[in-house]
Amino acid sequence: MQDILLDISRNPQARKWVKMLGLPIPMPQDLRRGKGAWEERPLFDQDVVVYASSGSAITQAVAETLAEAGAQPHVVGDDKAVSLFQGPGEAFGRLPQAVTLEDLPSIQPHALVFDASGLSTPQDLHQLYAFFHPIVRGVKRCGRLIVLGRPPAEQTRVGAASVQSALEGFVRSLAKEVGRRGATAQMLYVADGAEDRLAGPLRFFLSARSAYVTGQPITVSASTPAVENESPWNYSLEGKVALVTGAARGIGAATAQRLAEEGARVVCLDRPDDDGPTSKLAREIGGQVLLADVTAPDAVETIQSFLKEEMGGVDVVVHNAGITRDKTLARMKPEQWDLTVQVNLDAVLRITESLLETDTFRTNGRLICLSSVSGIAGNMGQTNYAAAKSGVVGLVRSLSSVVAEKGITVNAIAPGFIETRMTAAMPTVIREVARRMNNLSQGGRPVDVAEAITFLALPHTHGVTGQVLRVCGGALIGA
């Protein structure tokens, strides 16, 4: 779907004229996105400025991750903090450069990482200002800003809990300030003992693959068992089986494509009426076709039997199939309510329970469910849809602790305005307003959601479970 403002913004001369004329038009930044499978060194030669703490296990994890990912670290901190980057830097040819707060205005980095895990008093919050104030305007377009902290619930002191909670408000606001340049800001809470699980999330949120995710708080925990044999960063789903429901087009098709690029054998599931596009997609990615209506009486048994008997089990399940039947509650027919709940929530629950009860879902599996920003914020004329999508959030949070001992992670993705057939059918004015109602002033693409789903499907994200990741560009309402 064509976005005229985005097309104009890609022309430097056009941007210049819009600015000179003083037109009140939000000119979005063309976003930098990743392509193909995950890379071994996605941050190769990128300058990353880190505010480090010498006594922090999180800083140590950051040092190792940046070196392995190919970044060039510039470290603000004492000699002990800088020394944490020395060993990893020598191993990967990325020796740290020590810098001071006074040096920051002269640096134009790709990313900023602030370790706030040691902040425990309101006065400590000034360190955020001291670091970000002189350098935030120097971050390159489509840059990345990350704040790292400890989960507030872990804190034994009320003051420390309040300060760690304050970080989320800071990041959400910072994301709105930097969004016009295509930059994003994220809050990563790292539980004590989960530092060795930070690498996957940190790589994702520092990379171009998180282009449409901003202003989000995510917790990295140690609630699931550690993965014994660490997978490589590229093609890490080699030999894994993935099921994607609603795979015929849009987000489902993009997700199937991305999972296949990471090496997965993808089962593309959609309704029998969509045999054509589903089969075409499966052929293109070397996947399998499974035709079934998820609301049919025999759908659960059909899906479970196919995965068990034909595929030998399943490692990744993406519940993407969904529908809308929008009407205000007073005008809604009972069948519109029932069908919406059946597809968006009931089918998700029944299929998942069957796969778990029959051991079709393998150990260390990944379950990703599609929720929606509408399910979080509510939306006019969508009481049925919002109820179902909010129910998905509850399912994810409840089930994550139940299956944790099997190493299975359970997460939800909540898309915002994504350019699909559904949004293309909107009235022009409504569509144009909806596109601008986020930090990045543009709609997302199906691949943006697919990238987030793929991130949660990888072995390297075993520290992320029970979370809701909003792929909404930092929606101004409900996010």
228-252: per-residue pLDDT in tens? 667 889 999 999 999 999 999 999 9
Reported as a pLDDT band with limits 50, 70 and 90, residue 1 is low
Is the pTM for the entire model greater than 0.75? Answer: yes
**Alpha-carbon distance 201 to 452, whole Å?**
11
For residue 116, is pLDDT > 80? yes
- 53: closest CA among 38, 28, 75? 75
- 195: closest CA among 35, 25, 314, 63? 63
pLDDT of residue 436: 85
For residue 361, is pLDDT > 60? yes
pLDDT of residue 335: 97
For residue 45, is pLDDT > 80? yes
pLDDT of residue 136: 98
CATH code of the region 241-471: 3.40.50.720
Domains 27-220 and 241-471 share a fold: yes
**Alpha-carbon distance 399 to 161, whole Å?**
26
For residue 479, is pLDDT > 60? no
51 is catalytic: no
65: CB partners within 8 A, 6+ apart? 198, 199, 202, 203
Reported as a pLDDT band with limits 50, 70 and 90, residue 287 is very high
pLDDT of residue 379: 87
Reported as a pLDDT band with limits 50, 70 and 90, residue 276 is very high
**Alpha-carbon distance 479 to 467, whole Å?**
14
pLDDT of residue 420: 81
When the pLDDT of each residue in the chain is averaged and rounded to a whole number, the result is 93
For residue 433, is pLDDT > 90? no
Among residues 51, 189, 212, 385, the one annotated as catalytic is 385
pLDDT of residue 469: 97
Question: Mean pLDDT, to the nearest integer, of 340-369?
Answer: 97
**Architecture of domain 27-220 in this structure:** 3-Layer(aba) Sandwich (3.40)
For residue 385, is pLDDT > 60? yes
**Alpha-carbon distance 101 to 114, whole Å?**
13
Question: Domain map of the chain by residue range?
Answer: 27-220, 241-471
**Alpha-carbon distance 19 to 8, whole Å?**
12
